[in-house]
């Protein structure tokens, strides 16, 4: 066998290796999902987005909730019998309002219990999806986020603040139009969030006394849109939070890593450490 034959075999193996690795990882994912479904007796749906940008030909890419996601999740819900619980594992910075509302309403209509698991974060639209669930199970360090509407890169509440603080004669027509849109957007989001929180199927999940307080805290722009709502604050607001995720969900997240583009920014030995005895002091006698 010549050098060129060996080189050709090397090239062939190198080209097939990524495909084989992807198939192996995909097989492990499906096996892990099936095992979790059998353990919990539920339909498991994962929505995992990596917010960090990846450079492809110099173009930054990032993932968020979009129409394709809503199509896939709605199909998964349709394939789930009404009496089978749904477990949705969320890891997302948010995304399109239309797609988010479609998914949230479908979860709301499902007759059996819906549980959302948040191992790290579910911001903006992800928080809306969490509020559509009957129970929100979070890691003790996971966070939610406000759901106040954004007009491009500008919070709707901030546009209204400009109109409130300045005389109308000093405001241009475009800003007034934007303020009108902002007012409508906030009302629409508040109406939708109220519908999520007042859900009583299969049972009432939010104390009615807390609903107005939750809407005020999450939709009116009291804080910035990327403000992290910690577990303690979410529970204090009255959201149905349970702390502590099953180990199987952490294992599933390991199968959805951020694609590597060079030296990792975080690195460690992936195994739990046992307490080690301190070394005995040397005898100096």
Query: pLDDT tens digits, residue range 75-97?
Result: 999 999 999 999 999 999 999 99
Residue of 40, 39, 43, 47 whose CA lies nearest to 70: 47
- CA-based nearest residue to 66, from 84, 88, 93: 93
Q: How deeply is 141 buried, as exposed, middle or buried, from its count of CB atoms within 10 A (0-12, 13-18, 19+)?
A: exposed
Does residue 67 surpass a pLDDT of 90? yes
Residue of higher predicted confidence among 174 and 267: 174
What share of the chain has pLDDT > 90, as a percent? 71
Two structure tokens written together for 72: 């896939």
State the average pLDDT over residues 37-50: 93
Q: Which of 40, 191, 195 is nearest to 104 (CA)?
A: 195
Interhelix angle for 173-197 vs 156-165, to 10°? Answer: 130
pLDDT exceeds 60 at position 264: no
**Cα–Cα dist 195/88, whole Å:** 20
**Assigned token pair, 103:** 């998914």
pTM comes to 0.85
222 DSSP assignment? S
Token duo for residue 285: 């006698």
- Tell me: the pLDDT tens digits for 133-190? 999 999 999 999 999 999 988 999 999 999 999 998 999 999 999 999 999 999 999 9
């Amino acid at each position: 066998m010549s050098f060129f034959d060996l080189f050709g075999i090397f090239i062939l193996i190198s080209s097939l290796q990524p495909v084989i690795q992807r198939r192996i990882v995909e097989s492990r994912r499906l096996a892990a999902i099936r095992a979790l479904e059998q353990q919990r007796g539920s339909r498991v749906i994962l929505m995992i987005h990596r917010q960090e940008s990846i450079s492809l030909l110099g173009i930054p890419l990032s993932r968020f909730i979009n129409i394709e996601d809503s199509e896939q999740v709605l199909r998964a819900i349709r394939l789930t019998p009404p009496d089978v619980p749904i477990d949705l594992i969320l890891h997302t910075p948010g995304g399109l309002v239309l797609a988010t509302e479609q998914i949230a309403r479908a979860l709301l209509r499902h007759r059996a219990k819906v549980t959302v698991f948040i191992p790290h974060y579910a911001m903006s639209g992800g928080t809306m999806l969490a509020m559509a669930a009957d129970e929100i199970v979070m890691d003790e360090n996971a966070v939610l986020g406000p759901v106040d509407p954004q007009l491009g890169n500008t919070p709707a509440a901030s546009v209204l603040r400009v109109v409130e603080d300045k005389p109308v004669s000093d405001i241009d027509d475009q800003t007034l139009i934007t303020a009108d849109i902002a007012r409508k957007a906030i009302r629409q989001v508040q109406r939708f969030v109220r519908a999520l929180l007042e859900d009583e199927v299969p049972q009432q999940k939010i104390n009615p006394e807390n609903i107005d307080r939750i809407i005020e805290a999450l939709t009116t722009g009291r804080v910035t849109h990327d403000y992290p709502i910690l577990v303690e604050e979410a529970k204090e607001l009255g959201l149905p939070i349970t702390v502590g995720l099953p180990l199987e969900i952490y294992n599933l997240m390991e199968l959805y890593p951020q694609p590597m583009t060079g030296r990792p920014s975080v690195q460690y030995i992936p195994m739990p450490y046992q307490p080690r005895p301190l070394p005995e002091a040397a005898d100096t006698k």
